[in-house]
Structure formats: C-alpha cells, structure tokens
C-alpha cells in the first residue's frame, strides 16, 4: 500500500455518552500508531453533541484512559459542542450553493411517507418532496443534503477493499435538525475537513456512514480522506465483545491491576499481526505498524492471553516501579502505614508469581496486616507435634546475628540436620505460622522481608495458638 507521507493526520473522536471501552481504545491505538509511524499528527476530538447523554464525567474518564494508555495527542481535545459556528458556516455554504435545501415536511408526514413506501415495497427513504421547492428557513424545518439521484459512490477501503453503493440507495440525509443542532455525519465531515484529517481509521460499524460522508465532502468541494475500517472485536465465544465477557472499560483494566503496556500490546494484536510475534515494545509497534497488516476478519479478545502477557511484563518490570504501582492497591485493601522498603521486599517475592498488580497486592497482605490461619492449613500443620519444633526454632532465630535469606537458610539447614528431619516437617508449620497459609513465596525470602521482630512475634503467637487448641 502506497501511503502519501505528506502531512498525515489521523483523529480519534470518542463520544462521552459512556466510558472508553476496548473497541474504542483499539481504534485510538491504531490511529495513534499510524500517525506516529508516519511522523504525522494525531488529533483528539470529543463528539459531545448528544447533550442528553454526554457527561463531563465521561469526558474526563475518556481522557484519563488515553493518558493511562500513553496515547498522547498533538491537537485537542476539541469539543463539537463548541463548534456550532463552524457547522453553521458549512451549512450556509451548501444552501447558498444549491447543494442542500430546507425541508418543511413534518414528522407526521415523514412517517406516513415511510409507511407508504414500505407498503409499496420500496426503500423507506425521503421522497424529495421539498427538494426543488427552494423553500426558506421556517419553524420545524430541517436542512437536507441534495444527494445525487443516479450513479454510485465508490471508495477504496484500505482494509476491506473497494466498496460501492448505488446513489439511489442513499437518502437526502438531514444535515441540520429542526432544533438547530447538526447530525453526526455532517459534523464529522466538517470537522475532519477543517482539521485536515487525511486518514479516517475506525470500526467497520461505520462503513454504512462512509458513502454518505463522501457525498457531503463532494458537496463541500473538500478533499476526501482515505478510509480504513477495522474488523470488529469478538469475545472467545465469537460473539461481539460485551460486558458478559468481563471488563470492557479501559479503566476497569487499570483497577484490575493490568499494566497499560500489556493492554496496548493485546489491543494491537486484535486485528493486526506481524508474523507470529506476540509481544512488542511501544517503539516496535510504532516501527512495524501498517494498515496492510490489518486483517479483514474479527479479532478475538482473550482475557487469559492478556493475563499471561501482563504477567510477563510484571516479571520484566523493576522492583522500584512495581513498588510505586502496588502501593495504591495496598492502600485500597486497607494497608495505611506502609514502609516502602518492606513493600519493595514483598514485590521481590511475588513478582514472579503474580499476573496482575491487584493479585500481587492481595497476595502480599500477610506482610502488612494481621493474619488469620486458613482452617485447612491450621488443622494440618499447626499441631502439637509442631509446637516443640517451632519453640526450638524460635530460640535459634532469636539468637541469629543477621536476618538475611542466606543466613536463615543456613540456620534452618543446621536445624533440620540436628533433628534428623526433612525441611517440610518444620518449613510448612513455619510458613503457616508466618503467613496464615500453606502456600506462599519462598520461606527464607518471606522471613527476610518480614524481619526479625515480625517473625519472632508471629512464631510466638502460633505456638500459643497451638497450645490453646490442645487445652480445649
């Protein structure tokens, strides 16, 4: 595909009638990658003309989502609600040039025409009653585009290939409603034209809008951009991605503890591929991205693959960065007074075991909160036979000169040799005593992070707990 690299401009125009979901984020990413690959401009435009459903909160959430993903923009955000003067000027241009006209047909009349067309087996479209009457502005009137009645509108979609539709299938679509507001198709064309957008990359649910928008471009006498319609995103069951497949809001993934890079990587692979490569750096995505590699078939969003990818990125991240990222999750889980050094230690023991930041925070709670013994682990390991071993180990640990992983490992090796036992005989009761569970990171790493005081305190409590059970 030959790309005109002069002044490439893409845009992402979300509607703040809801939050930013996976589909919109993928569209934003592909526009961003395309513009960055070709050293062009990426514009953010908020399409908030649906005043009844658009909210400031949704706008802020969308912007926050893009920033979290790292998708920066070169211009904007522009707001359609603040651009009525631009649309008015374009509408007047079409009216004065005979490319549009006022239609005085009432909603009741239009409904009767629609029913009559259906009854006669015709396409229920506007019949052009007011098309050549040269009517002026009037209460309740709308402005319609004077669409061509013959011929066809054809465009080469950069993903789907050549698409053509007969003009007789298209309507004299409304540009300006009776209340003075402007329709989506008209506002989008005016904005894209005025902002110099050269490539419109969007979901294939917009394909039906494209011929209509092309007719508006032609009526305005403006250059028509290149179009690329992305395949839809499906869930693992091959149905359109929805809430029943789990989280779809971008910020929900942040709350679940995903790293933005992992989500971006996953989004990039929804409908785009570079051989069999699964994992990309941001720069690799920019360098490699091409519309030629966007497939025609739908992308399948797989949460398990995303979790595995996120786990890889967590393992590769620095402990310092993970500490910064995990602390807010610990705060939400009720851990208020945190020592950074201990959080970093906890991260060190859990980064290879965690698929999300939330999971890491949850698994590390035994470091920062009072523990309760899991019933099964309590019954199996905190038993009278363990009490004497734990008491002797407590004395040995109390006398330890240093409390490092290597020294603790040496101490326990000598302890089990002295008693002629296997490591698990004392290690499992020790693990439950310190963490409350029979499954945890390596016991020596855990003890090093906890430090002498916490280890001795928890061992003492576990011994008392075992004795109390025996006296019941």
Residues with a known catalytic role: 243
Q: Residue 211 CB: number of other CB atoms within 10 A?
A: 20
Contacts of 431 (CB under 8 A, 6+ apart): 381, 437, 438, 440, 443, 446
Contact indicator for 113, 80 with CB cutoff of 8 Å: no
- Sign of the four-CA dihedral 315, 316, 319, 325: negative
What CA dihedral angle connects 49, 55, 60 and 66, to 10 degrees?
-50
Measured distance CA(234)–CA(232) in Å, rounded = 7
The H or E element spanning position 460 is helix 443-470
Could you tell me the two tokens for 208? 């039906």
Inter-residue contact 71 to 260 (CB < 8 Å): no
Taking 3-state DSSP, the helix, strand and coil percentages for the chain, each rounded to the nearest 5, stand at 50, 10, 35
445-461: b or e for each residue (b if 16 or more CB lie within 10 Å)? bbbbbbeeeebbebbee
Cα(14)–Cα(258) distance, integer angstroms: 23
| Paired sense of beta strands 199-203 and 174-176, if any | unpaired
Helix (H/G/I), strand (E/B), else coil: 129: coil
Half-sphere exposure of 224 (CA within 13 A, CB side): 17
Pairing outcome for strands 152-157 and 161-166:
antiparallel
Q: Using omega within 30 degrees of 0 as the cis cutoff, is the peptide bond preceding 430 cis? A: no
Structure-token pair, residue 90: 């374009």
């Amino acid at each position: 595909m030959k790309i005109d690299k002069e002044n490439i401009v893409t845009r992402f125009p979300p509607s703040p009638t809801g939050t930013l979901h996976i589909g919109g984020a993928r569209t934003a990413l592909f526009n961003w990658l395309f513009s960055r690959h070709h050293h062009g401009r990426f514009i953010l435009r908020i399409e908030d003309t649906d005043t009844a459903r658009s909210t400031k909160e949704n706008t802020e959430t969308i912007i926050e989502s893009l920033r979290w993903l790292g998708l920066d923009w070169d211009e904007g955000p522009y707001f359609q609600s603040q651009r009525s003067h631009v649309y008015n000027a374009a509408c007047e241009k079409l009216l004065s040039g005979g490319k549009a006209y006022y239609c005085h047909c009432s909603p009741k009349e239009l409904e009767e025409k629609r029913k009559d067309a259906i009854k006669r087996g015709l396409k229920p479209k506007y019949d052009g009653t007011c098309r050549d009457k040269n009517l002026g502005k009037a209460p309740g009137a709308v402005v319609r585009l004077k669409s061509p009645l013959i011929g066809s509108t054809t465009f080469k979609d950069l993903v789907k290939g050549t698409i053509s539709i007969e003009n007789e299938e298209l309507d004299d679509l409304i540009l300006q409603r009776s209340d003075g507001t402007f329709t989506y198709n008209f506002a989008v064309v005016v904005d894209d034209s005025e902002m110099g957008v050269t490539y419109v990359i969007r979901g294939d649910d917009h394909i039906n809008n494209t011929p209509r928008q092309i007719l508006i471009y032609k009526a305005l006498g403006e250059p028509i951009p290149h179009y690329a319609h992305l395949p839809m995103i499906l869930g693992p069951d091959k149905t359109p991605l929805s809430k029943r497949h789990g989280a779809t809001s971008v910020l929900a993934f942040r709350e679940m503890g995903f790293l933005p890079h992992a989500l971006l990587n996953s989004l990039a692979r929804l409908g785009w591929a570079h051989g069999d490569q699964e994992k990309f750096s941001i720069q690799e995505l920019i360098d490699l991205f091409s519309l030629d590699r966007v497939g025609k078939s739908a992308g399948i969003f797989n949460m398990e693959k995303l979790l595995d990818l996120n786990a890889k990125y967590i393992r590769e991240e620095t402990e310092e960065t993970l500490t910064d990222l995990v602390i807010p999750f610990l705060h939400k889980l009720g851990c208020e007074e945190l020592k950074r050094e201990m959080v970093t230690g906890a991260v060190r023991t859990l980064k290879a075991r965690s698929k999300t930041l939330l999971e890491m925070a949850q698994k590390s709670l035994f470091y920062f909160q009072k523990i309760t013994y899991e019933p099964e682990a309590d019954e199996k390991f905190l038993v009278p036979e363990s009490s004497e071993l734990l008491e002797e180990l407590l004395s040995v640990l109390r006398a330890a000169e240093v409390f490092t992983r290597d020294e603790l490992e040496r101490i326990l090796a000598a302890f089990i040799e002295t008693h002629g036992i296997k490591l698990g005989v004392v290690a499992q009761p020790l693990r439950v005593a310190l963490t409350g569970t029979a499954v945890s990171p390596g016991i020596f790493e855990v003890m090093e992070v906890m430090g002498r005081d916490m280890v001795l305190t928890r061992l003492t409590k576990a011994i008392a707990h075992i004795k109390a059970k025996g006296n019941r």
